[in-house]
Structure 1
Amino acid sequence: MRLRTRLALAFALLALVPLAVVVPLTMSRLRSTLSRELDTRMEGATTSAQESLERSAERARRAVEELVESTAMEDLARDAHERPTRAIQSDTAEGLMRSRGLTVLSLFDRQGTTLSSGHLPARRGDPDPALFAVTQQKSPKPVPVRVSVRSDEGLREVPALVTARPVDYGDLRLWAVGGVLLDEGLAQHLSRLTQAEVSLRSGDRVVARAGGAAPPTVERVLPLGDAAAVHLVFSRAAVLEAEQGVTTAFLLLAGSGLGFAGLLGLLMARRITRPVEALTEGARRVAEGARDVQVTAQASGEVGELVRAFNHMTSELRSTTERLVASERIAAWQEVARRLAHEIKNPLTPIQMSLETLLAAQSAQDARFPTLFRDSAAVVLEEVDRLRRIVDEFSRFARLPKPQLAPVDLGELAQSVLSLYATPPPGITLLPTLQTGVVARADRDQLTQVLVNLVKNAEEAMKDKGGSVRVRVKGTETDAIVEVEDTGPGIPPEHRARIFEPYFTTKEGGTGLGLAIASRILQEHGGKLEVGGEPGEGARFSLVLPRAL
C-alpha cells in the first residue's frame, strides 16, 4: 500500500470513529420510534375496521327489524295468508330490499322454501339451507354466512352479514333473512378508512380487493366466523424510506468527512511520495517494454540520487537493446540469405551442366545437338520454374499482408476448401467431420491458403500407398479448431522441432516455406499451428484460433 494511501486512510479513520459511534445509536433509536408509530397506526386502523364492520352489521339489523315491523310487511303477510300463491312474487323481495338499503334479502316459509329473493330472484321455490340456517341462530346480531349471487361469470358465493326475523299473521309464519354483502364496495370503504390494502377472503378465494401496499408489508386479519375474513395489509415502505433518508444523510456526512480527511492526507503525502511514485511508474513501463523512460520528478537527498541512477540505467538499457535488436535482425536475415542462397544454388548446377553440354556439342558439330538441345532446354526450364517458385515463396514470406479480420464460420470455410478436392487422386479418400457454428475472427483468404496447403501436403504424403484425409472442425468454450489428419508415414520426432522453420523441407523439390508461412499466419491471428500424430501412423496438423463469442 502506498504511503500516500496510508496517510489518507489514517485521517479518514480519525474522522470515522465518532461517526461509527453516533450513527448506529441514532439509527437504532430512530428504528424503534418508527416501529412503535407503525404498530400504533396499525392497531388504530384495525380497530377502526372492526368498528366499521360492526356498524355495517348494526345498520343491517335495524333495517331488517324496521322492515319486519313495517306496514308493508304486515300487508304482505296478510295477503300471503289469504292468497298464498299470488301475494309473494319473485320480485317482491327485491323491492323491499332496495327500500331498506339492504343488499341481501330472502323471504322463506316455515319449511325453508324461498318465496322471494332480492339478491337472487331465480332462487324462488328452491331451498337455501345456508341462508335459512340463520333463522336458528339465537343471537340477534347479524352473523357471517356465504350467499349465492349472480355475476358476469355466473353464480358465485359471496360472504355477507345477515340476520333473521319472523313475520307472523294468524297461523302463517314467514321469515325475513336480510343483511349486507361483504363485497368490493366494503373493501374500498375499509381501504380508505385504514389506508391499507384490504382483501375480503372466503376460504382460499379472494372475493374483493381494494387499495395497495408497497412492500415490505405487515398483515392483520379480522376473522368473520367460518364464512370470511378481512385481511389488512399495511406497508412498511414509509418507515424504511424514513430510515433510508436518515441513513443517507449520515452517509453523506460521513462521506464528506472521509473525503475531506483523505484529501488532507493526500495533499500532505503528495510532496513526499511524488518522486517514489514516478520511479514506480517508470519501472512498470520498463517492465512492459518501454526503453526511453525518464523520470522528471524533482527530488533531493537519497531519492534524488535514485532518480538520477534510474535515468542513467534506462539510457544505457535503450542503447544496449538497440544494438541487440540490430544484431538479431542482421543475424536473422543472414540466416535467411544463407538458406535462400542454398536453395537457389541447387537449380544452378543442372542449368550449368546443361549449358556446358550444349556448348561442347555445338563446338564439336555433334549430330545429336538438336536432341541434346531439346533435353537440356527441358531441364533448364524445369529448374528456372523451380527458381521462380522459390522467389515467389520468399516474397510471400517476407511480405505477408496484415490479416483483415472478420467473423468466419470454419465449418463453411473447410467445406469450400474440400470442394476444390471433389475428385481426389486415386486411392485417397476425404473424410470431413465439420461442426457448424464454430466462428472465429480471421482473414478468410489467408485461412483458405493454410487449409489448401495442409490438404495438399496430406495428399502428397500418401501419393504412393494411398489412404484417407480426415478434416475436422470443432469448438470449445474458448477455441475454434480445424484438424487435418492423414494416414501417411507421419513426421519423425527429430523433424518436429524444425518443421515450421523457413526453408526446412523433406520433400523433393519443396521450398520449405509452406508450413513456415502457415505458422506465421496463425500467429498473426492470435492462434497457433500444432503438429501431432505418431510416426508411421500419419500426421495431424491443428489450427487453433480464439473463438468468436
Structure 2
Amino acid sequence: MRLRTRLALAFALLALVPLAVVVPLTLTRLRDTLSRELDARMTAATASAQESLERSAANSRRAVEELVESPAMEDLVRDARTAPLRVIQANTAEGLMKSRGLTVLALFDRNGTVLSSGHLPARRGDPDPALFAVTKEKSPRPVPVRVDVRGDAGLRQVPALVTARPVDYGDVRLWAVGGVVLDDGLAQHLARLTQSDVTLLSGGTQVAHAGSAAPPTVEQELPLGNVASVRLTFSRAAAREAEEGVMRAFLLLAGLGLGFAALLGLLVSRWMTRPVEALTSGARRVAEGALDVQVTARATGEVGELVRTFNHMTSELKNTTERLMATERIAAWQEVARRLAHEIKNPLTPIRMSLETLMAAHEARHPSFPTLFKESAGVVLEEVERLRRIVDEFSRFARLPKPQLAPVDLSELTQSVLSLYAAPPEGIQLVPALQTGVVARADRDQLTQVLVNLVKNAEEAMTGKGGSLRVRVKGTDADAIVEVEDEGPGIPLEHRARIFEPYFTTKDGGTGLGLAIAARILQEHGGRLEVGGEPGQGARFSVVLPRAS
C-alpha cells in the first residue's frame, strides 16, 4: 500500500476516532440504563405476580377456614356421625365449593375416603391420596399439589394451591381440603398484571399460558414448591430497537465523516508524499546497482533533512560497500578455516586410539593381532580418505560438501563407528542396541562424521565420572533414528535453545562447531538433530532421518 493511500486512510481514521469513542460510551450507558429499567420492571412485575399468588392462596385458605367454621358444615358432620356416605350427597361439596369461590374442594373421612368432591364428583367413595396427603402438612399456608380434574380432553392433572382443615363433632372428624386451580384464568390475570408472557408449568409440562413477549426475551421463574412454577418472560425488543437506532445514526455519521476525511487526506497526502516518492524511486535505483543516485525533490523540515541525508549516503555508499565486501570475504575464510580445523580434529582421536590399541596388542603378542590389525587399518584408511575428501571440498567450495545420498544401513554404519571405540576409557561402558534393517538415504561419510562427533561428545561428558554410553538404532514407519545417550551432567535447560548455534560451547577448548555442523548436515539430509535427557542425569542426542523404503 502506497504512503499516499495510508495517509488518506489515517485522516479517515482520525475522523472516526471521536465517533468511535463517543458512540460506544453512549451505547454502553444507554444499554445500562435500559437494562436497569428492565430489571426494575421485572423486579416489580415479579413481586406483583408473587403477591397475586399469595393473595389467591390467602383467599382460598380463608374460604376453607370460613367453610369449616360455618353452621352448614357443623350440621353436616353431626348428621354424618353414623353413615357419612349415606348422609353426604355427591353434589354436597360442589355447592359448598361454589358458594365460597373455590375451584377445588373435597370432603374426606378420617381414613382418606372421598365423601364428596366438588371438582371431581365421580371420585365419591374412592381414596384420593395426593389430595388427602395435604392433611398431614403442618404449614398453615396453602400447599401446592397436583389434582385430577375432568376437562374436554378427559381426566388430567393440574397444579392447585389447597388448604386442609378438620371438622370435628364429638369423636367424629371430617376433613375439608379446598383451594384454587392454577389454570388459564390465573395465567391471564398474571399476564395483564405483569405485562409479560406467562407460562404455568407442572412437572416440566405447560398447563396454562397467556400473554406474549417479542424476542429477544429474558425469563424469571417463580417456583411453587416441587409441584409447579410460574415462568414470566419479558421482552427486550424496546431496548434492542433503541440500541439499533443509535447504531444506525453512528453508521450514518461515520460514513459522512469517512468520505470527507478521505477527500481531505488525498489532497494533503499528495502534497506531503512527493519528496517521499522521489526518495523511494532513488532507493529503488540504488537497489538496482546505481550507487551514486542523487534526489533533487524540494522539501523542508524533516523530509528535507532526509533528502540531504540520502544524497550524502549514496555518495559514500560505493566506498563503504567495497570495504564491507572485503571484510565479509575475510570473515568467510576465517569461518572456513575454523570449520576445517574442527572437522579434521574430531577423527584424530579414534585414529590414535585404534593405533594405540594395535600397539598394545602387538606388544602383548595378542593372538588375534592380525585380525585386529586388518579391521583397524581398514577403519583408519577409511577415516583418512574421508578427511581427504572433506579438506578437498572445503578448499574448493569453502562450505560443507553436498551430501551424496545413497541407501545406508544405520545398524551396520553405527557398528562401524563403534569399532573405533573398541577400548573406551576406564569406567565407561559402551552399550549398543542396534535394530537391524533400519535403512535411510544418506551420505555415508557425512553421517559417519555426525555419529563420531556425538559419540566423542558423550565420552568426553563422562570423563572422570564413568557410566554407560548407550547407542541405539531403531526405526518407525516414517523415521530412522540413532540415539546416543550418556550419563554425564546433561544439558542445562537454558542452553538447549542455543546448543546448535555455531560457536556456542560450554566445553573448555571447544570450538562450538561440532553440533552446529552435525545439525546442518542432518538438515541438508531432510532430517533433524534432537536433544533430550534430564539435567544432571545425562544427555540424549537423536539423529532422525527419513526412512528409506
Bin of the TM-score, shorter chain as denominator length: 0.3 to 0.5
- Taking structure 2 as the reference length, what is the TM-score of the superposition? 0.48
